[in-house]
Amino acid sequence: MQLIIVESPTKARTISKFLGREYKVKSSFGHIRDLPQKEMGVDIENNFIPKYVVNRKAQKKVKPLKEEMKKAASVILATDEDREGEAIAWHLSEILKLNPQEKNRIVFHEITKKAIEEALERPRSIDFHLVDAQQARRVLDRLVGYELSPLLWKKIKRGLSAGRVQSIALRIICEREREIEKFEKQVFWAISAILRPKVRPSEASEGRTFGSFEATLTEQSGTKIEESVTLKLFAGDYKTKKTIFADEKTAQEIKAELEKAAYQVSEIAKKETSRTPPPPFTTSTLQQAAINSLGFSAKQTMMIAQKLYEQGHITYMRTDSVNLSLPSMLAAKKTIEKFFGKNYALESPRFYKTRAKGAQEAHEAIRPTHPEVAPDELNGSLDINQHKLYRLIWRRMVASQMQPAIFDSVKVLISAKSDKNEYIFQANGSTIKFDGYLKIYGDSPLTTSPNKNEKGENPPKIDQFKEVVRGKIPVTENILPPLEEKEILNLEKINTTRKETAPPPRYNEATLVKVLEENGIGRPSTYAPTISTIIERKYVDKNEERRLFPLEIGFLVNDLLVEHFGQIVDMKFTATLEEDFDRIAEGKKQWVPVIREFYEPFHKNLEGKSKEIKKEDVLEKLDKKCPECGGDLLVRFGRFGKFIACNNFPKCKYTEKTAEEKKVEDENSGETCDKCGAPMVVKRGKYGAFLGCSKYPDCKNIKKITSDKTTGVKCPKCEKGEILERRSRKGRLFYGCSAYPKCDFSLWNRPTGKKCEKCGSLMVYQMKGTEKCSNKECK
């Protein structure tokens, strides 16, 4: 019997289905060894040798593996193919005392019978270059975390952390917030004309009429009226546009002039354009698409993708390559011909070039292991979120091997001559000539009949996906009436619209992942945990539109790091370290010199800054003195929120409550316990302020302090309470009835106050200010 060891039980069960009785597949349940939790675990004086330990939980997993090993003729290590998986294989080899030079390591990109059998035919020894690259990252991150985090505890608050990638992510969000605050809006006026073609005699005799269309003013006597505004920001340029009309008076004067002008078509330009499908998913683009299209978080996306991989439905989900294997592309071609017809398939496969920095071309993109298996064929075997993500991956991969979408686009220039000036208006129109790969995202806009192939078979059941829209792919835009050059047009109306230049938007998880990848910060495996960490640390939060914004503690941590540890939060420096890790993985660099080159100047700077930085330079200093010792009073952060304390702590232990806390106490004074009648007092706990009985522990009655913001909307369920803005224990924003717990009505989206015309349920806001019915069954 041969023993195969993998990381997860699900992966073990899937592989067991493909192998005979001569193999036994067992799981290590993740990492067996790691650095210790309660000490540095790195011997700095001795070439940064890490001290690995087997924790108690892992010890319980090691014993059965050793027992199984005694019965086995050989042991095969089949952990994941990336650096993390290689490191796990090495740790297992060390604990089980295997020969590291022995060819007992197999890797595969997908969990299929063919892939497993091929891997077993080509075993190799452990790749120590990959192990060194993972070890270098782990050691460097431990050095930064264990040495820099205590400084934050002393100067700001206990429990804070700093890290190479997380601190860059925090800085990107903080810099964007300040860029938004500094942004000065510019008011401008846009002018458009509603025009209609004159009815030609032949068309009048046929009773044909054409609708009006809108054209935008672009020129005034040869001068372009639209200007581009480019802002140099921390994480890249931001571009916006405005017109040269900066005040309403000018816009109204031009409107009056245009209302008397003569309109004529001056030029018509028609062209055919094509859009090729986007490449199959990498880790980064999968996270972005799942966040935008499905509303998943980066962490949730990776957890679901991990399950799909371990069950054998998709290839390995941590990759920065867009390559596809030839057999998978040929399988996709057959799928396209089956469901959509031969005219939608390519004659030869389409190959994509990976653009990500440091991408490993030998790996494959994320794709279905069996492209011929449509999403609906997995109904019942996947839960709803797994099904959604599989469908997203399947569509993207199959679409990448479909024909381009062909568009007929037209640009019409219209001359408007007045007594003073000649103006140029522009109207654009676009329609799909051939839907190509868009076919896989829903019914063709060319027909309302079912999309059947040549054999009369229906395609997989699929609904319209947001990613088509987000990819800026128009299905039909502003259909224009038939026009001819020099044709005279009738003016129906001149519109003047007041607009403002928009500030750069806050990042959401998708755009943050994108900017991290574009700047070479982190790797596919680090994006999701990085975002989770800065949210869990309360450095940042999400608003109703799921946009990330920094909290007060996040600003404090970021500002301290930027001022005193600029190298740690420098994007170019961090990207260079990532390149060093890549060179270590390729065997082109040794890991110890890379760590030493970083650590020695970092540690020297840290020692100096520990003495130099004073709390009063970081924390808010009040304009009053300590009544006990005369020291400065600072606003400090404790376990349960802010409080005022003397800067001479621990010599002076004077504290007082903040104005906000005093206000809460004043607002809740006079409350009595509804169980024993004793006065209720304000207390603070993990989730904020609450009222507790003054006779505690004899009476343990508590009551929530309602500091929730009102929406002004009456609860539709009990018709007595009011809907308030609240937060869950995990910090997620929601809207619930003020009569809770008697009434449990709640919503995830903010109610508008209006009711649905169809079902009478409350309408709620969606992203970008649009509205929808809160009743999921109402369309």
Q: Which residues are catalytic?
A: 316
Classify the C-alpha dihedral 600-601-604-607 as positive or negative.
negative
* Cα–Cα dist 372/701, whole Å: 61
For 385-426, give the secondary structure using H, E and C: HHHHHHHHHHHHHHHCCECCEEEEEEEEEEEEECCCCEEEEE
Could you tell me if 479 and 166 are in contact, meaning their C-beta atoms sit under 8 angstroms apart? no
Distance CA 720, CA 402 (A): 56
**Measured distance CA(26)–CA(11) in Å, rounded:** 9
Q: How far apart are CA 160 and CA 154, in angstroms?
A: 10
Token couple for 165? 């990638």
Residue 214 CA to residue 197 CA, distance in Å, equals 12
With residue 55 as reference, give the H or E element that holds it. Answer: none
Three-state DSSP at 377 gives helix
> What kind and span of H or E run contains 754?
strand 751-755
Contact residues for 238 (Cβ-Cβ < 8 A; gap 6+): 179, 230, 231, 504
**Alpha carbons 468 and 438: distance in angstroms, whole number:** 8
Residue 469: burial class (beta carbons within 10 Å; 0-12, 13-18, 19+)? middle
Task: Report whether 315 contacts 109 (CB < 8 A).
Answer: yes
- Beta strands 23-27 and 2-6 are parallel
Task: List the strands of the sheet with 688-693, edge to edge.
Answer: 680-685, 688-693, 702-704
DSSP state of 122: S
Determine the residue type at 415: S
CB 623 within 8 A of CB 669: no
- What are phi and psi for residue 99, nearest 5 degrees? -75, 115
Phi, psi of 140 (to 5 degrees): -65, -45
Tell me the H-state helices in 208-360. 248-258, 283-289, 298-310, 326-340
Residues 208, 729: Cα–Cα separation, whole Å: 63
Cα separation, 86 vs 684, whole angstroms = 46
Contact 270, 409 (CB under 8 A): yes
**H/E stretch holding 67:** helix 56-71
The tokens describing 545, both together, are: 């539109």
Beta strands in 123-261 (DSSP E): 187-197, 213-220, 223-224, 226-233, 236-243
Phi/psi class of residue 573: alpha, beta or left (left: φ > 0; alpha: ψ in -120 to 50)? alpha
Q: Encoding tokens for residue 159?
A: 């429990």
Reference 103, options 76, 132, 137; nearest CA is 76
What CA–CA distance (Å, rounded) separates 443 from 461? 10
> What are the start-end ranges of the E strands in 478-631?
488-500, 540-542, 548-550, 620-625
Instruction: Give strand pairing partners of 733.
Output: 727
Q: Please spell the DSSP secondary structure of 666-684, one letter per residue.
A: HHTTT-B-TTT-PBEEEEE
Phi/psi-derived region of residue 422, left when phi > 0, alpha when psi is between -120 and 50, beta in every other case: beta
